[in-house]
Chains A and B, each alone.
Chain A
């Protein structure tokens, strides 16, 4: 077993359990909304996801139709399916499928 992986998994897994369970048990929805902590926590998720989307898409953005067309097709598919179905899972699968089809069409 890779010990670095185990430590990262245990820290991230424990944090996940804490994030999902403790606020549910503590019924924190009864606290007054709008405080600085609530605003910071509410902003952390969107900031993290925006950051990771940029980090994931940047290496794929190289010049050339062969690279850009599959990325563009996948992105449009995610946007389109999400707008219609409001499902993260379906939009993700549609994006991957569109990317694969565009890649296949170009090769």
Chain B
């Protein structure tokens, strides 16, 4: 039962893994292009394991942003993950086990969370081995894609400018898709304020200030009761 559930999880991770590989590949290419080694690119994927944050880490580190400002920005960006575990366990029911959550819950990315929640909504029983299989399949694909991109190297795509341009659009595309996935009427003012403050801060002060101001003012907007 445990092995079967783990295998089911691995199988369910296939669509995510197929999608993750090219995004991670473009991250590996971007990292080596930014001057990082293959090992450093792989380390970011191994430890952080959050796509948009990793692209942003490259931009912040190469722009000379202070280490703690960079870390704070990445941490603030991933704060939304705080809500995934509770939302999933609410759908799983009060008797669902979380004994091994310290392992499988690290794999609760946006897509793994969405897939798991969808499976529960379709009537599947919650199972920790399933969650482990689902998470491991996605994680291994992310690591493999990063390694492949990093070893292909920053100059790997110079002969294919259109492919290069497409991979360069991966980051705004990823942010836009993530934004759509969390869009709700309740959060619209937060999103609008954060976007406007970012544009204002970037144009009037600097890109790093715009990012920090946008996040802080946007999050504080969420405190206003409506």
Taking Cβ atoms with an 8 Å cutoff, the residues of A that contact B are: 1-2, 4-13, 15-17, 19-25, 27-30, 36, 39-58, 60, 70-71, 74-75, 77-79, 82-83, 86-97, 99-101, 103-104, 107
Q: Are B67 and A21 in contact (CB under 8 A)?
A: no
User: Contact at B173–A44, with CB atoms within 8 Å?
Assistant: no
Interface 0/1 of B118-138, CB less than 8 Å to A: 000000000000000000000
Q: Given that A48-B80, A54-B195, A54-B199 are known contacts, is A82 also in contact with B165, CB under 8 Å in the complex? A: no
- Complex Cα distance, B221 from A12, in Å, reads 24
Q: Is the CB of A104 within 8 A of B162?
A: yes
By secondary structure, the A interface counts as helix
| Complex contacts, B4 vs chain A, CB 8 Å | none
Interface, chain B (partner A; CB < 8 A): 15-16, 19-20, 22-23, 26, 36-37, 39-40, 43-44, 47-50, 52-53, 56-57, 60-61, 67, 70-71, 74-90, 94, 98, 101-102, 105-108, 110-111, 114, 161-163, 165-183, 186-187, 190-195, 197-199, 202, 207, 210-211, 214-223, 225
Instruction: Check if B47 sits within 8 Å of A10, measured CB to CB.
Output: yes
Chain B residues with CB under 8 Å of A48's CB are 76-80, 194, 215, 218-219
Asked if residues A20 and B71 are in contact (CB atoms below 8 Å), the reply is no
Nearest Cβ distance between residue B69 and chain A, in whole angstroms? 10
Verify B111–A88 contact, CB threshold 8 A: yes
Cβ–Cβ < 8 Å partners of B81 in chain A = 16, 19-20, 45
Residue from B19, B166, B175 in contact with A89 in the complex, judged by beta carbons closer than 8 Å? B19
Closest CB in chain B relative to A1 CB, distance in Å: 6
| CA of A4 to CA of B44, assembled, Å | 12
Residues of A within 8 A of B110 (CB): 88
Which residues on A sit within 8 Å (CB–CB) of B220? 40, 43
Is A12 in contact with B162, judged by CB distance below 8 angstroms?
Answer: no
A36 and B163 CA atoms in complex are apart in Å by 45
Contact check, B80 vs A44: say whether CB atoms are below 8 A apart.
yes
Query: Is B215 a contact of A7 with CB atoms below 8 Å?
Result: no
6 A-B contact pairs sorted by A residue (CB < 8 Å): A17-B106, A44-B79, A45-B77, A58-B199, A88-B177, A103-B162
Q: In the complex, how many angstroms separate the beta carbon of A94 from the nearest chain B beta carbon?
A: 8
User: Hey, which chain B residues are within 8 Å of A96, CB to CB?
Assistant: 22, 26, 166-167, 169-170, 173
Give Cα A107 to B61, complex, Å.
32
**Could you tell me if A91 and B180 are in contact, using CB atoms closer than 8 angstroms?**
yes
What is the CA–CA distance of A49 and B171 in the complex, to the nearest angstrom? 11
In the assembled complex, how far is the CB of residue A70 from the closest CB belonging to chain B, in whole angstroms? 6
